[in-house]
């Protein structure tokens, strides 16, 4: 072996010692999962479109996204789910269209003190009513309450007839687009009165106009690695953009493994009163259209007091909290999210259908919204059932294995020359990384696969070493099948 020193030459007698920080074992890299939330900002938000910006606290997020915006709602949902989530905000391209609005009118005269309110996805914005109050003053008071509540996802106006309030309240969403007012997964808004003598008329919804496009935002985020990307929408076009982005980023020359999360409130398709397709079938079809191991779609049934983008953000934060990649998330709660009513719960048969097709069913357990099983949308290969990449822990483990190998190669072999022992040295380091992961119960049976670790110099390209590396991932435990034998 030829020894080399990095100590400067000197003529002075003595013993001189330097340090090589890279000779010994370096251990496995930290498995930190950065979360990218993609959404829209309100008029108060300063975040420019297509500029990923990391935030360290809620005040920064408010300044960038604006209170009550889609992006701010996502941030809050993610932090409620896991307060340690490392979050970057990304504003997608401006939606060309209009904001949704909701209008209702108060009538009557209050005969007794009480409350009037606006209810949005289970959240109540209430104003007090005194005896003898008229609709006009009540509408003004309620509008003031809403406008003084920064987290409200809309602004409020008490309409005037000349200078006199009419009793009508008009709410306008802080973000544009059709998805904001979607009956399933959007903002569900209604006016209400608990004050005797005052009636709140039915709420008229004017749907938002315009579609979200993630294409340019994802292009702007491409150079950086975000382990979990959360989409506010789940339409096929945007999931296609996500799939392309993830595939390109994870490619061998980029090596930035990432996963994407979105959520939907699945509802049945009806033709009048005739059922065309059930809620589960619609969710299944959305997943089958993707069939990709890095895309995840979670689904609640019929209705839930949360938006699709809040559910997705909460789920993304839970994914990021799972520091050991192959540990399953069966039954893991998503704190901060509402739970479904009894009639809106998935049956066992529906859950099985969803999981088989690559959809994550969301169910209630112990009064919390929980993941049934964290599956990917990769359910088949060329139309044939494909089990290897069903659970998200498998692709997450492969990404982590690659990260660990890259870290070792960078520290051990950067700027080396190809000498006679280099192939064996690289091969042994690859085995050592695998053994370290075996100690962490992420890989297994490494000794049995020892002969499948192969490293050799390329005969075609000078300066290139070729490695073949087995990855026997330890699967997460999902099921225990029991047979109980009866003895009398």
CATH number for the domain spanning 361: value is 3.40.50
Answer yes or no: do 132 and 258 share one domain: no
Q: Where are the alpha helices (DSSP H) in 20-123?
A: 58-65, 70-81
Among 290, 283, 304, CA closest to 360: 283
Q: Does an H or E element contain 248, and which?
A: helix 236-250
Q: Is 485 among the domain residues? A: no
**Domain boundary residue among 189, 206, 223?**
206
Answer yes or no: do 130 and 193 share one domain: yes
**Domain boundary residue among 345, 378, 411?**
378
Q: Is 299 among the domain residues? A: yes
Answer yes or no: do 107 and 53 share one domain: no
| Cα 375–Cα 377–Cα 383 angle in degrees, nearest 5 | 125
Instruction: Report residue 48: phi and psi, to 5°.
Output: -75, 155
Q: Is 440 among the domain residues? A: no
pLDDT for the residue 3: 61
Answer yes or no: do 262 and 341 share one domain: yes
Residue partners of 320: CB distance under 8 A and separation at least 6: 33, 34, 35, 82, 85, 86, 227, 228
Counting every residue, how long is the chain?
A: 488
Domain count, the chain: 2
Distance CA 242, CA 258 (A): 10
Answer yes or no: do 224 and 135 share one domain: no
User: How many C-beta atoms lie closer than 10 Å to residue 323's C-beta?
Assistant: 11
**Domain boundary residue among 378, 405, 436?**
378
What's the half-sphere exposure (Cβ side, CA atoms, 13 Å) at 462? 1
Q: Is 398 among the domain residues? A: no
Distance CA 58, CA 486 (A): 58
Answer yes or no: do 329 and 242 share one domain: yes
Residue 256 belongs to domain spanning: 34-93+211-378
Contact 322, 391 (CB under 8 A): no
Full pLDDT tens readout for the chain, 488 residues = 456 667 788 888 877 777 666 565 567 888 889 999 999 999 999 999 999 999 999 999 999 999 999 999 999 999 999 999 999 999 999 999 999 999 999 999 999 999 999 999 999 999 999 999 999 999 999 999 999 999 999 999 999 999 999 999 999 999 999 999 999 999 999 999 999 999 999 999 999 999 999 999 999 999 999 999 999 999 999 999 999 999 999 999 999 999 999 999 999 998 888 888 999 999 999 999 999 999 999 999 999 999 999 999 999 999 999 989 999 999 999 999 999 999 999 999 999 999 999 999 999 999 999 999 999 999 999 999 999 999 999 999 999 999 999 999 999 999 999 999 999 999 999 999 999 999 999 999 999 999 999 999 999 999 999 999 999 999 999 999 999 999 99
Q: Is 373 among the domain residues? A: yes
Answer yes or no: do 278 and 158 share one domain: no
Among 293, 264, 263, 289, CA closest to 279: 264
Answer yes or no: do 222 and 361 share one domain: yes
Structure tokens belonging to residue 56: 């360290």
Mode of pairing for the β-strands spanning 274-277 and 384-385: unpaired
Answer yes or no: do 333 and 287 share one domain: yes
Q: Is 67 among the domain residues? A: yes
Q: Is 468 among the domain residues? A: no
Answer yes or no: do 113 and 256 share one domain: no
Q: Where are the alpha helices (DSSP H) in 251-377?
A: 279-288, 308-321, 348-357
Q: Is 403 among the domain residues? A: no
Answer yes or no: do 118 and 76 share one domain: no
Contact 206, 154 (CB under 8 A): no
Which sign does the torsion angle of CA 434, 440, 443, 444 carry? positive
Q: Does an H or E element contain 308, and which?
A: helix 308-321
CATH of the domain at 161: 3.90.1160
Answer yes or no: do 269 and 342 share one domain: yes
Angle between helices 348-357 and 279-288 (to 10 degrees): 10
């Amino acid at each position: 072996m030829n020894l080399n020193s990095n100590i400067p030459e000197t003529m002075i007698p003595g013993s001189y010692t330097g340090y090589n920080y890279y000779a010994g074992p370096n251990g496995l890299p930290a498995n930190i999962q950065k979360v990218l939330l993609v959404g829209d900002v309100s008029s108060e938000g300063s975040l420019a479109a297509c500029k990923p910006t990391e935030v360290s606290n809620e005040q920064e997020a408010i300044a960038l996204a604006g209170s009550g915006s889609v992006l701010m709602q996502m941030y809050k949902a993610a932090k409620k789910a896991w307060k340690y989530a490392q979050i970057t905000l990304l504003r997608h391209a401006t939606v060309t269209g209009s904001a949704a609005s909701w209008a209702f009118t108060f009538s009557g005269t209050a005969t007794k003190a009480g409350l009037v309110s606006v209810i949005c996805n289970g959240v109540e914005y209430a104003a007090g009513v005194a005896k003898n109050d008229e609709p006009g003053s009540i509408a003004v008071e309620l509008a003031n309450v809403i406008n003084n509540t920064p987290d409200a996802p809309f602004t409020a106006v008490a309409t005037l007839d000349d200078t006199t309030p009419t009793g009508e309240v008009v709410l306008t969403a802080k973000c544009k687009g059709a998805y904001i007012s979607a009956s399933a997964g959007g903002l569900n808004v209604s006016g209400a009165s608990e004050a005797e003598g005052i009636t709140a008329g039915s709420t008229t919804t004017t749907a938002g106009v315009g579609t979200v496009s993630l294409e340019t935002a994802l292009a702007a985020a491409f150079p950086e690695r975000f382990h979990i990307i959360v989409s506010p929408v789940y339409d096929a076009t945007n999931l296609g953009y996500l799939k392309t982005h993830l595939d390109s980023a994870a490619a061998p020359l980029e090596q930035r493994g990432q996963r994407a999360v979105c959520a939907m409130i699945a509802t049945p398709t009806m033709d009048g009163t005739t059922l065309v397709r059930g809620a589960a079938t619609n969710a299944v079809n959305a997943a089958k259209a993707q069939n990709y191991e890095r895309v995840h779609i979670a689904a609640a049934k019929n209705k839930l007091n949360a938006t699709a983008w809040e559910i997705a953000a909460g789920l993304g934060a839970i994914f990021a909290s799972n520091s050991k990649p192959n540990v399953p998330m069966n039954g893991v709660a998503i704190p901060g999210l509402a739970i479904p009513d009894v009639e809106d719960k998935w049956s066992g048969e529906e859950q099985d259908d969803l999981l088989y097709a690559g959809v994550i069913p969301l169910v209630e357990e112990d009064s919390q919204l929980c993941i049934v099983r964290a599956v990917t949308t990769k359910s088949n290969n060329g139309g044939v059932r494909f089990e290897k990449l069903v659970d998200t822990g498998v692709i997450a483990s492969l990404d982590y294995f690659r990260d660990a190998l890259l870290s070792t190669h960078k520290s051990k072999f950067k700027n080396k020359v190809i000498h006679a022992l280099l192939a064996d040295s690289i091969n042994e380091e690859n085995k050592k990384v695998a053994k370290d992961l075996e100690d962490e119960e992420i890989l297994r049976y490494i000794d049995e696969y020892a002969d499948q670790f192969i490293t050799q110099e390329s005969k075609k390209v000078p300066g290139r070493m070729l490695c073949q590396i087995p990855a026997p991932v330890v699967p997460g435990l999902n099921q225990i099948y029991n047979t109980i034998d009866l003895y009398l």
